[in-house]
Amino acid sequence: MGNEKHQSPPADRGQAVALVIFVLGLGTLLPWSFFMTASQLKYFNERLTLPNVSCNGTPGGTAKDYNYDSWMALLSQLPLLLFTLLNSFLYQWVREPLRVAFSLIGILLLFSLTAALVQVPMQPDTFFSVTMATIWFINSNADKSSAALGYFITPCVATLATLLCYLFLPHLEFARFYLNRSQSEKGKTTQELMSSTDKIVLNNNGKDLEADGKFISTPEENPERSSVLNVFKKIWLMAACVTCVFAVTLSVFPVIAVRVQTVYTDNAAWKKVFTCVCCFVVFNAMDLAGRSAPSVVQWPSKESVLFPAAVLSRLVFIPLLMLCNVHNSRLTVLFSHDCAFVTIMALFSFSNGYLASLCMAYAPQLVRCKDCETAGSLMSFFLVLGLALGASFSFLLGKLV
């Protein structure tokens, strides 16, 4: 039994497990990313345009302001908020394979529904309601319907690949080693944990009681998990920080950011790809760089007052982005040039990824090993809470610009 305990883990051959975990991470963000970028498709603009009634079905009509970006952001975060809260309390009773596999299958079915709706004619109000309901439950071709169909089939295939990768994970030796060890540790009883600790000999008036066999087992820590409330008391600052980070981000991205336009309006090609490159590509690239940076340096430390100060300093990005060259802005444009917008977006997204990663890394360090899973679940809840708050706040900011 001792040999099993100290057995060295096998190697992750070809980084297969790392690749699967990476794919699972992509699968988590897939619904959000596709519906967010889909707001820029002409397909959505046409489907949400009130048509003029005609016998031959000639397209045309007036556009109705559905606040698609704000509603998409809000309705994709509210169910996440609900289920991450439930997960914080119920994860011990619902097996992890069931949680992950069931979620991926649900996303696959809902994306399939979205792809099918491409070919189904609907009134804009009905189409908007169905699309928002789908988002809730999930979280330049000449033929725009075919382009949109292909667009939404892509995440269906990607989600199916993610599900297959997850089902393949237990068959990899490296993953199986840690999964089995995790299950065995969860199955240990309090008595087993107590018996594995060092025995301390009691002395009474200088008498050695070892001969009487009177020992007391003193485990290094209480083998029982702490309550959710007790764990929260230890990580509340990190929870507040991660909430603030994502609340700031979702309040202006994508609602405000996608409305910024280039100053080079005469360049048709650049005007066409400006939002894609300067908004989405810059954001995702710099966000990824920010999330990777803590593997090199972690500053400020979790004990430093500079950490919450750095988180609060991101509030400055809200007015900075609102004062960029936003289309039909009611505010005075101070940062009209494309380079100014790209610079602000780069700092905005890098700080988002960097500070969010530090929050998620620091929180488990504040609790015992047995409470790390609870801390992780709570941090996920507060992360989504920040997303939901930011999405709600975006309605107000969208009206101001």
* Tens digits of residue pLDDT in 278-304: 998 899 899 989 999 999 999 999 999
* Inter-residue contact 307 to 294 (CB < 8 Å): no
Q: Strands, E, within 137-176: which ranges?
A: none
Tell me what pLDDT residue 361 has.
94
Alpha-carbon distance of 397 to 401, in angstroms, equals: 7
pLDDT at 255 over 80: yes
84: left (phi over 0), alpha (psi -120 to 50) or beta: alpha
φ, ψ of residue 335 in degrees (nearest 5): -120, 80
Least confident of 27-36, 234-243, 257-266, 391-400: 27-36
pLDDT at 147 over 90: no
Band of pLDDT at residue 126, cut at 50, 70 and 90: confident
Alpha-carbon distance of 319 to 321, in angstroms, equals: 6
Tell me what pLDDT residue 196 has.
40
Tell me what pLDDT residue 231 has.
94
Mean pLDDT of 348-357: 96
Report angle CA 332, 250, 114 to the nearest 5 degrees.
Answer: 115
Mean pLDDT of 104-125: 71
Q: List the alpha helices (DSSP H) in 169-208.
A: 173-186, 190-195
Tell me what pLDDT residue 17 has.
86
* Inter-residue contact 188 to 158 (CB < 8 Å): no
Q: Strands, E, within 278-345: which ranges?
A: none
User: Higher-confidence residue: 205 or 318?
Assistant: 318
DSSP-derived secondary structure for 266-289: T-HHHHHHHIIIIIIIHHHHHHHH
* Tens digits of residue pLDDT in 174-221: 888 877 776 665 555 434 433 443 433 334 444 443 444 443 344 455
pLDDT at 139 over 90: no
Torsion sign across C-alpha atoms 316, 318, 319, 321: positive
Token pair of 304 as six digits: 């430093």
pLDDT above 90 as % of the chain: 33
Tell me what pLDDT residue 121 has.
73
Structural domains in the chain, sorted by start = 13-188 (no CATH), 189-222 (no CATH), 225-401 (1.20.1250)
Tell me what pLDDT residue 177 has.
85
Read off the pTM. Answer: 0.69
* Tens digits of residue pLDDT in 38-87: 655 555 556 666 554 444 445 455 556 666 667 766 766 677 677 777 76
Band of pLDDT at residue 34, cut at 50, 70 and 90: low
3-state SS class at 50: strand
Residue keyed to tokens 């944990």: 193
Alpha-carbon distance of 108 to 341, in angstroms, equals: 36
User: Higher-confidence residue: 192 or 342?
Assistant: 342
Least confident of 219-223, 266-270, 333-337: 219-223
Least confident of 54-63, 160-169, 297-306, 324-333: 54-63
Q: Which of 155, 153, 110, 104 is nearest to 130 (CA)?
A: 110
